[in-house]
Amino acid sequence: MLNLSTNRIEGKIKPTEFRSFGMVKDFHFGKIFTRIILIAFAMMLIILFMPWTQNIRSSGIVTTLQPDQRPQTIHSVIAGKMEKWFVKEGDLVQKGDTILFLSEIKDDYFDPNLLERTEDQIEAKELSVQSYMNKVNALDDQIDALLKTKNLKIKQAQNYLQQARLSVSSDSVDLEAAKTNYQIALKQYERQEELYKEGLKSLTDLETRKLKLQETQAKMISAENKLLNSRNKLINAEMEVNSTQNQYRDKLAKAESDKYTALSSMYDAEAAVTKMQNQYMNYSIRTGLYYITSPIDGYITKAIRTGIGETIKEGEDLVSIMPVKYDLGVEIYVEPFNLPLIQKGQKVRFMFDGWPSIVFSGWPNSSYGTFGGEIVAIDNFISENGKYRILVAPDKNDHPWPQEIRVGSGAVGMALLKDVPVWYELWRNLNGFPPDYYKISDKSEPQKPKKDA
């Protein structure tokens, strides 16, 4: 009471009948404050020994686990002019559905009958190849006939040669016999001449012997002349054999040269046919590329080129598409300083944009609105932002992620590390020490080798 009034209430009322008077009069503030201090100290002491999960926090975005499930753009393989759209943004398309039709802008492909004309050229070239093939076959037959004729001619010439050799041998024998007869006739004439000189033979006998000598000499000269003719025939027969071989060698060489020329022309025609067939297939495939089709089942998210009549180049982006089915994941980036603490299979907790959450970083089990994940891939090379990319998949043992999450939305991840007491974590942060390095134990123990009995 401040005693601001001279009027007193003491003795007029009973304080025991009013609880408020008793509380004010008998209040012991010191005892209550002491109890509060003791209870708070005990709670802080208990909290210091509670387990705390070390973690690494990092921001990331929602993506897909498979590369072919991520948003992609559809390109134009050929240059062309945009003629007609068959879809609009937000449409669901199936694989193979037509999205856009293009028309040709290159003068090499303006001919509407380009495929038919190219096919006619291919048929003409194929007939040319067949003609060259027939010519090659005819030259093969000609070469076979020349070889047979050559063998017959050579055999015939060799027979003439053999006859000439036998004739030379026979004439040589005749010449030797004529020479012998001449020598005998000469000796007989000489003896007859001596007898004539001695008067033992008459002049008639001497002249008869001289006539005989002249006859044998004429026969010897005739035999020698016949031998020379036979030798001349032998030389002619040998020349005929060589001439026949050379003649047919030249004919065969010319026929083979014509054959190889025809083969070369045939191979050139076949190469031209192959080239034209390749060109025909290119034209045929190019015709099918006028229609831009969807490579996957997905939603048309954005039309990059829109105007009808616009010309586009090869490889230019046309529309972006998002696959219908995809497996969600999150890519986060960690500092190189924390990379040794990250391993495949490690648990991660996420807070997604648009999903309310209450987070206790050291007590993930007590957090609200967070979702579990598991690290499935770690980049071996640093990214352009100076950090390492980590790919995280949903944890199969945790509750599933919301189906409303879209690819590209933001996420904050906490990679869960070792469990330590709260006082240790406070001491570590005060000293600026990094989180504890540890390895995930492999539950599968290697089998021991069996001992041989």
pLDDT over 80 (residue 14): no
**Same domain assignment for residues 235 and 363:** no
> Same structural domain for residues 278 and 401?
no
pLDDT of residue 321: 92
Task: Report which of residues 214 and 415 the model is more confident about.
Answer: 214
pLDDT confidence of residue 138: 92
Q: What is the pLDDT of residue 357?
A: 60
Over the stretch 285-333, which tens digit does the pLDDT of each residue have?
888 889 999 999 999 988 888 888 888 888 889 999 999 888 889 999 9
Confidence of residue 99 (pLDDT cuts 50, 70, 90): very high
Q: Of 86-100, 209-223, 291-305, which range is least confident?
A: 209-223
Q: Any idea which of 128-137, 342-351, 397-406, 409-418 has the lowest mean pLDDT?
A: 409-418
What is the average per-residue pLDDT within 234-244? 85
Q: Provide the mean pLDDT of the chain.
A: 81
What is the CATH classification number for the domain harbouring 96? Answer: 2.40.50.100
Q: In the prediction, which pLDDT does 447 show?
A: 44
User: Has residue 77 been placed in a domain?
Assistant: yes
Whether residue 87 lies inside any domain: the answer is yes
| 165 in the same domain as 294 | no
Give CA–CA dist 241/345, Å, rounded: 93
Average pLDDT over residues 77-102: 90
Is the same domain home to 187 and 225? Answer: yes
Asked whether residue 24 is assigned to any structural domain, the reply reads: yes
Domain boundary pick from 238, 272, 288: 288
SS3 assignment, position 420:
strand
188 and 252: one domain? yes
Query: How many domains are there within the chain?
Result: 4
Domain that residue 62 falls in: 51-68+326-431
For the chain, the farthest-separated pair of C-alpha atoms sits apart, in whole angstroms, at: 232
Say how far apart CA 137 and CA 27 lie, in whole Å.
130
The string of pLDDT tens digits covering residues 365-401 is: 655 568 888 999 999 888 888 889 999 999 888 888 8
- The CA-atom distances, in angstroms, between 391 and each of 47, 142, 385, 407, 411 are 34, 76, 16, 14, 12
Residue 152: both structure tokens together: 């017959």
Work out the percent of the chain whose per-residue pLDDT is above 70: 82
- pLDDT greater at residue 16 or residue 292: 292
In terms of pTM, does the model score above 0.85? no
Query: Collapsing DSSP states into helix, strand and coil, what is residue 110?
Result: coil
Under DSSP, is residue 443 helix (H, G, I), strand (E, B) or coil?
A: coil
* Terminal-to-terminal C-alpha distance of the chain: 100
Do residues 54 and 346 make contact, with C-beta atoms less than 8 angstroms apart?
no
pLDDT at 206 exceeding the cut of 80: no
Write the DSSP assignment of 351-416 as a string of letters.
EETTS--B--TT-GGG-BS-EEEEEEEE-SS--TTSSEEEEEEE-TTSPPPPTT--TT-EEEEEEE
Q: For residue 137, what pLDDT is reported?
A: 92
Mean pLDDT (whole number) for 252-269: 91
Digit-coded pLDDT (tens) for 166-194: 888 888 888 888 888 888 888 887 887 78
Q: pLDDT class for 443, splitting at 50, 70, 90?
A: very low
The answer as to whether 1 is a domain residue is: no
Co-location of 97 and 145 in the same domain: no
Q: Are residues 148 and 282 in the same domain?
A: yes
Decide if 109 is inside a domain: no
| CATH (domain of 192) | 1.10.287.620
Same domain, 151 and 44: no
In terms of domains, do 357 and 410 share one? yes
Residue 443 belongs to some domain of the structure: no
Confirm whether 423 is domain-assigned: yes
**Rounded mean pLDDT of 12-17?**
63
Pair (237, 311) in one structural domain: no
Of 419 and 159, the one with more pLDDT: 159
Q: Which of 20-29, 56-65, 116-125 has the highest mean pLDDT?
A: 116-125
Tell whether 249 and 299 lie within a shared domain: no
Question: Quick one: 196 and 86 in the same domain?
Answer: no
Q: Is residue 227 part of a domain?
A: yes
pLDDT at 29 over 70: no
As given in the structure block, the two tokens for residue 223 are 């035999």
When mean pLDDT is compared across 83-87, 369-373, 377-381, 442-446, the lowest value belongs to 442-446
Query: What pLDDT score was predicted for residue 448?
Result: 44
111 confidence band (pLDDT: 50, 70, 90): confident
Spatial distance between the Cα atoms of 250 and 256, rounded to a whole number of angstroms: 10
Residue 240 to residue 233: CA distance in whole angstroms: 10
Q: Is the pLDDT of residue 150 over 60?
A: yes
